[in-house]
Structure 1
Amino acid sequence: MDQETSYSNRHWLNVVIVLFLASLPILVIQVFHSSVYFESEIPPYLVFHNIAESFSIIVSMSIFGVGWFTYAQSKDSHTLFLGTACLGIALMDMMHMLGYTGMPDLLTPNSPNKSTQFWIIVRLFAAISFLVSAFVPNENGLFTRKRWILIVPGLVSIFTFIGVTYYPDLLPVTFSPEIGLTHFKRVSEFVIIFILVLALIAYRFRIPRFGWSHTKYYIYAFIFSIFSELVFAVYTTVFDIYNILGHIYKIVSFCLIYKGVFISSINSPYRKILETNEILSRSLVEKENLIREIYHRSNNTLQVIGSLIFLQAEAYPDSPEIKTVVYRIQDRIQAISLVHRLLFSGQDLSSVQIKQYISELSNYALQSNSNDSCKLSLKMEIEDRKLLFDVVIPIGLILSELLNNSVKYAFPEASSGNISISFYEGKDNRFHLIYSDDGVGMKEDYNFKSCSSLGIQLIQGIAENQLSGKVRFKTGSKFQCEIDFPNNIYKKRV
């Protein structure tokens, strides 16, 4: 026996259990009829009847509310159809309750026939609605203008009220003081039972398409509705135990319908949202791991490139120019590689702590280009904030060039020197990077625009083209470079 067959057998075993539970009270009454059968007095019965009908009306209105107000989001046509049908059922059940014997007259004198006529019409309307609902699909937005679906239950309720209240003689008699329930009443109950059985069968064929969890509560509800109509077909007075049992069956039935509607319109969408969130969470974790792996491999690749360049340069041991170029390339690679390493180790895949980055990059640059004859002191005033890696990499390349120039050229004869790096966001919504040293500086007439220095050209090109910034150099002693650029040139992408 395969799994699908096992599930099917289990489902129908549940149906058998519900059938047994529904039939058990009737069997008990039949077996112990002389002991349990009774006919209630009118006052206590009216209290029970009003409570039972009020509860049914509230549940029906709740079904209508769920179906009507969730349709815009769920587009569940089946629930909307059942909800509007239950609105008509609730209105006619209220007429039945108010027209009951012992209640104040509902415009015209109340009588058992009046309340029973209301009852037959509303039960017939409910059975037909349940049968039709079996053929209404779920979640396809069938009713583009949902207000039009109110026409049928609204018209049925209006015509029922007018017909039973003012023209009862035009309708078949359902209860007579002389004979009790009329033949028409009993036949009507069996017709309603027949329609409910058809609805039960029709819902059986919804299971393969819409699933057992969306269908089972309706099947259970129709079982209790069938038993409700069955006991209403055999009671002798409107106050006996069968009548009471019938109303209890009815309450159970509508509670089960409400459960089915609630699951379709509220539980299922929320479950789908939770499942989607879980899928998205897993996908996000996978994406983060993939991006981290990309950063890790990029870092490794950059290190390999640097090593290959260095190895290639070993073939020219007598060329200091090539060695200088190789060291500069390695410094630039390190400036980029450090960003990838920080991104890989951090939680944020888009941003880097600029203070940590500048600190590590500066220490690396000073150590790798150390000058034993000059002791350099580094002072930093960096805002502790995160910047997108699109901004950090250009800043790193610029600082790498500036630090290298300071170490190599700013202190040719000095025994010590000071380097200062400042980074902050100004009130003008621009970032400001200020680099300075107290070395020999630049000649007063030095032309930075037309200079042949690759480092200076890189600084100007990166600042102006990648950061859309402005560069200002100070000539004379104590070199200074100030760069300011917009704080919104790049957007977060990861």
Structure 2
Amino acid sequence: MPNTELALQPKTFLTLHPAYQTSFWGVAMIIAVLASIQLILGVIDITEQYTYVASYLSLHLAMEMVSVFISLMVFIVGWNVANHKLPSSLLLLSLIFFNVGIFDYFHAVSYGGMPDFLSHNDVQKHLNFWMAARFISAFGLLLLAIYLVSKIELHLNRTAIFIASLTFTLVFLWLVIYRIDLMPVWFVEGQGLTDLKKNLEYVIIGMNVLTALILLTQLNRPRSLHVPLLIGAVLVTAMSELYFTWYSTMTGVYNIMGHLYKVVAYFMIYRAIVVEAIDIPFNRLKESQETLDLAVTSTDTGLWRWPLGGDYVYLSPILKRQLGYNDHELANSFSALQSLLHPDDKAIFEEAIQSHKQTLGKNELFEVEVRFKHKNGDYRWIYSRGKEGRDKFGNIVEVIGTHTDVTHRRIEHERFRSALQASPNAMIMVDKQGCIVLANKKANLLFGYKDEELLTQPIEILVPNSMHEQHSSLVDGYMQNMQQREMAANRMLFAKRQNGEEFRVEVSLTPIKGSEENYVLASIVDLTEKLASQTRIEKLMHYDILTELPNRQLLVERANYVLDNARQLKLQVGLLLIGLDRFKNLNDSLGHSAGDEVLVEFARRLKSTISAKDTLARLGGDEFAILMPSTNTQQIIQLVNKVKEVLKHNFVVKSEQVLMTASMGIAMYPENGNDFSLLFQSSDTALARAKQIGIDTYLFFDNEMQLNVSRILKIDSAMHEALTQKQFYLEYQPQVDIQTKRLKGVEALIRWKHPEMGIIPPLDFIPQAESNGLILPLGEWVLETALKQLRSWLDKGFQPVVMAVNLSALQFKNEGLDKSIEALLKKYEIPPEYLELELTESMMMENPTRAITALNKLHAKGIRLAIDDFGTGYSSLSYLKQFNIHKLKIDQSFVRDIATNDDDRAIVSAIIQMAESLGYSTIAEGVETDAQLEFLQQNSCDEYQGYGFSRPVLAEVMEEKFLSAKG
């Protein structure tokens, strides 16, 4: 919060600058003492014995001579310093006291009782000189004060003003000496001072007081004259004049005191001019010399002076110290200095000297940087710089300059050069004229130049001719505002090799500040490889590596453009998805390399079927897409027939003739979707439906498919709320011993009852949950709900049964699966052997090594493990032996026809035998008939489940019909 009390206070009349703090109070003390004395003399009665002082004439003459001497000293000092660019107020003050000194002198020698001087001496004569001196002094000092306040700069011609002053003095002297009758009467014998004299004295006193008041306003800042002393002088002068209004005789005490006060006032004026003209400049010169000495010492820079025509050279002690010598150990001679030069630098040093001798008189600098031998045997780099010196007649008589030890700078420079040479980038340093002063080997190699061939060359030789003008403009702009930056961040920047080849570059600029000149360091990177890599990356991002066709990303970009155009022009757009039939069988039988050959050849054939405006893309695997702008149904059917036609010719793979067919799904814009996402979904639905019907089939997306898609979307949307609204529940299907029909376990199966759609089959919502990510929370809910139910059955006293729960692929990939299951088992106090986790073959074979690790962790905790839908995947027997599992679950697709299909019977028998040999138990799912059960019993299957025993039932039904109490 600001100090408002202080802020509102007005500025005081008297504000002292720090430079006047001490002197002002000293002057004030003198004024106070003199004023006190005058007050005392003014109030006491001066008796007749004090109206005459013996030897007054001698005393008067002595005091006046002191005043004259001081006046002339003021004049001499002010006159002689006027040529040294000091304030003109000094000259004005000196001329005032020239007149005052002359008149005071004539006043002294014309005093009554003194020998006649040029004319008869009397009271009137010496008072005329006195009054003239007093008035000129008072009026002159008043003018000086007004000048200081007005801030007007006077340009005085000292010769002209001196002649005018001298002329006035001579005229006045002539009048007083030869025509005194024309002058006024100042004193009447027996009566004392005339009224004119007293009144004029009062006017002089008033002028002095006014001068003091004006000068008081100048104490807040330093002025060209010492203001406190001037204030003291005019106030003491005023007191002196007051004395001269009191006396009635010419030889009394008041007269003596007035003269004494006048001497004090003159001394103050002398000090004021001496302080400004002599003391202050001298002190400043001394401070400047001390600053120079400090600067020279702190910067380790010394001086040298070389008089021309001799061997003598003055060397400052700093240079000698830099070379390890005391001042007396190294002679001040040119020959001694030369003896310390490095042999490689002697010619350089001599050349620099001779070159400077030839340029003497042109005011050019002498510069040289050479090595001198140190006392310890090392060499130091010394930089010398000087210029010619002249005598007072303008003749060149010497060369004077400075010397600096730059060894550290040279070392750093060499390190800098080494660093540049080691840089993996091309590095070029340019001076402010745009000339190359440094280039590393990488730069020479990049631009095709030999070592040092680039030095002194203009940077434009590395810039294409077409860009010279633009480059020059950029250089000029950068030199005016140098800062670190990168060039070509968002625009083309080309460089040119010596052979004329142009290539893309990236340039980073760094300003380098030197002691004498600024430079720019350019780091240059050849972008040729980088751009080639970007092109390759761009191709990888938008094109299929195998077929070099556009990929899904590029298809989407082009489709969005085509659809935007179609909206504006109201055109139809067709999207045809193509999937090769039984392509997996080809890969499994002939290998993936064979499959790749077929895909490449098929892509080549498809190119021949499309027009220039169409886009053919590979989506992945065996799926392709053709985007047809501005088309119709008839044109699409023609394209479909072309695709069928190219597939009639066999593919030759590894000397095998392979016949391939394709299924196709077609969607039309805007009928089947108003954006690419919907259009693709529709064509994908049509393709899936075509594959379900059979091979070599194509279908247009229709309303029935639309209803199916709508239902899927509705299911997907409803699923997000179903879990929180408890729409899911579990049913349990018994798993029984195949021989005794005794209940061994139950499989927990998820069910969904939607308030509007009713019962939704798992086959409808499980795939959607896997695609939208809800399968993870859904699987966790099933696992916890099943264990919670098992805990409830145990608490009710039922015999323990194994609870089988299916794991999703996402759950199985969870690194913390074993810990989360262990936590649930502890939460519901379930022994781990009562939990059986079912996993599919594909889940484990996706990454067998990781699967083995995960299964081992679960097995170590005592949890039972089973492979679900066994036989539908592609398990490797070598991996199967490493899996810590308890049970193989035979898929119902093999069980369904075992009573009539020999192949299925053989497969089931083989699975049972293999499991038995590996120590696994087996369970068959989907058992519905007695014939199926009989075959399984005969082949020693351990357990079964299915409608032949019981459908999945609610927990309450399970309790009533199948669970038994502990015996």
Q: Same fold (TM over 0.5)?
A: yes
1:202 is aligned to 2:211: no
Match of 1:228 in 2: 240
Q: Distance in 1 between matches of 2:141 and 2:165?
A: 13
Q: Residue 100 of structure 1: SS of its match in structure 2?
A: coil
Deviation for aligned residue 1:218: 1.1
Q: Residue 104 of structure 1: SS of its match in structure 2?
A: coil
Mapping of residues 389-400 of structure 1, within 5 Å: 391-392=341-342, 394=344
1:120 corresponds to which of 131, 154, 164:
131
Match of 1:269 in 2: 281
Q: Distance in 1 between matches of 2:21 and 2:275?
A: 23
Q: Distance in 2 between matches of 1:144 and 1:394?
A: 61
Match of 1:154 in 2: 166
Match of 1:256 in 2: 268
Residues 99 and 105 in structure 1, CA contact (< 8 A), matched pair in contact too: yes
Residues 112 and 175 in structure 1, CA contact (< 8 A), matched pair in contact too: yes
Cα deviation, 1:336-370, whole Å, max 9, x if unaligned, reads: xxxxxxxxxx942897589xxxxxxxxxxxxxxxx
Q: Classify 1:92/1:237 alpha carbon distance in 2 versus 1 (closer, same or farther; 3 Å).
A: same
Deviation for aligned residue 1:166: 2.3
Q: Distance in 2 between matches of 1:147 and 1:136?
A: 20
Structure (1 or 2) with the greater helix fraction: 1
Q: Distance in 1 between matches of 2:23 and 2:67?
A: 27
Match of 1:39 in 2: 51
Residues 192 and 247 in structure 2, CA contact (< 8 A), matched pair in contact too: no
Q: Distance in 1 between matches of 2:281 and 2:17?
A: 27
Mapping of residues 138-217 of structure 1, within 5 Å: 142-143=154-155, 145-211=157-223, 214-217=226-229
Match of 2:95 in 1: 84
Deviation for aligned residue 1:159: 2.5
Q: Choose between structure 1 and 2 for higher RCO, CA contacts under 8 A separated by at least 6 residues.
A: 1
Cα deviation, 1:75-126, whole Å, max 9, x if unaligned, reads: 3322221111111111111111122100122333221122112211110011
1:348 is aligned to 2:327: no
In structure 1, list runs of 5 or more residues that go unmatched. Answer: 291-345, 355-382, 399-424, 430-465, 468-488
2:337 corresponds to which of 376, 386, 400:
386
Structure (1 or 2) with the greater strand fraction: 2
Q: Classify 1:9/1:86 alpha carbon distance in 2 versus 1 (closer, same or farther; 3 Å).
A: closer
TM-score (norm 2): 0.30
Deviation for aligned residue 1:384: 9.2
Q: Distance in 2 between matches of 1:251 and 1:58?
A: 10
Mapping of residues 88-487 of structure 1, within 5 Å: 88-136=99-147, 142-143=154-155, 145-211=157-223, 214-288=226-300, 347-348=318-319, 352=323, 385-387=336-338, 391-392=341-342, 394=344
Q: Distance in 2 between matches of 1:137 and 1:207?
A: 11
Q: Residue 210 of structure 1: SS of its match in structure 2?
A: coil
Q: Distance in 1 between matches of 2:153 and 2:297?
A: 35
Amino acid of the structure 2 residue aligned with 1:62:
M
Q: Distance in 2 between matches of 1:347 and 1:238?
A: 70
Residues 301 and 318 in structure 2, CA contact (< 8 A), matched pair in contact too: no
Match of 1:453 in 2: none
Amino acid of the structure 1 residue aligned with 2:319:
D
Q: Work out the percentage of aligned pairs sharing the same amino acid.
A: 25
Cα deviation, 1:159-215, whole Å, max 9, x if unaligned, reads: 221222222232221111142100000001000011111221222233334359821
Amino acid of the structure 1 residue aligned with 2:187:
F
Q: Distance in 2 between matches of 1:193 and 1:278?
A: 46
1:61 is aligned to 2:72: yes
Q: Distance in 2 between matches of 1:493 and 1:65?
A: 42
User: Is the deviation greater in 82-91 or in 22-31?
Assistant: 22-31
Residues 29 and 36 in structure 1, CA contact (< 8 A), matched pair in contact too: no
Q: Classify 1:12/1:284 alpha carbon distance in 2 versus 1 (closer, same or farther; 3 Å).
A: closer
Residues 352 and 387 in structure 1, CA contact (< 8 A), matched pair in contact too: no
User: Is the deviation greater in 273-282 or in 119-128?
Assistant: 273-282
Deviation for aligned residue 1:41: 5.2
Match of 1:21 in 2: 33
Cα deviation, 1:99-156, whole Å, max 9, x if unaligned, reads: 2100122333221122112211110011111111224469999446321221343233
Amino acid of the structure 2 residue aligned with 1:26:
Q
Q: Residue 281 of structure 1: SS of its match in structure 2?
A: helix
Alignment RMSD: 3.9
Residues 77 and 136 in structure 1, CA contact (< 8 A), matched pair in contact too: no
Give 1 or 2 for the bigger CA radius of gyration: 2
Q: Distance in 1 between matches of 2:385 and 2:66?
A: 61
Q: Residue 166 of structure 2: SS of its match in structure 1?
A: helix
Q: Residue 107 of structure 1: SS of its match in structure 2?
A: coil
Residues 71 and 97 in structure 2, CA contact (< 8 A), matched pair in contact too: yes
Amino acid of the structure 2 residue aligned with 1:154:
L
Residues 89 and 224 in structure 2, CA contact (< 8 A), matched pair in contact too: no
Deviation for aligned residue 1:18: 2.7
Q: Distance in 1 between matches of 2:170 and 2:346?
A: 80
Q: Distance in 1 between matches of 2:44 and 2:196?
A: 29
Q: Distance in 2 between matches of 1:64 and 1:142?
A: 18
Q: Distance in 1 between matches of 2:233 and 2:63?
A: 17
Amino acid of the structure 2 residue aligned with 1:86:
F
Cα deviation, 1:366-404, whole Å, max 9, x if unaligned, reads: xxxxxxxxxxxxxxxxx9933498x52725999xxxxxx
Amino acid of the structure 2 residue aligned with 1:277:
Q
The count of corresponding residues between Structure 1 and Structure 2 is: 322
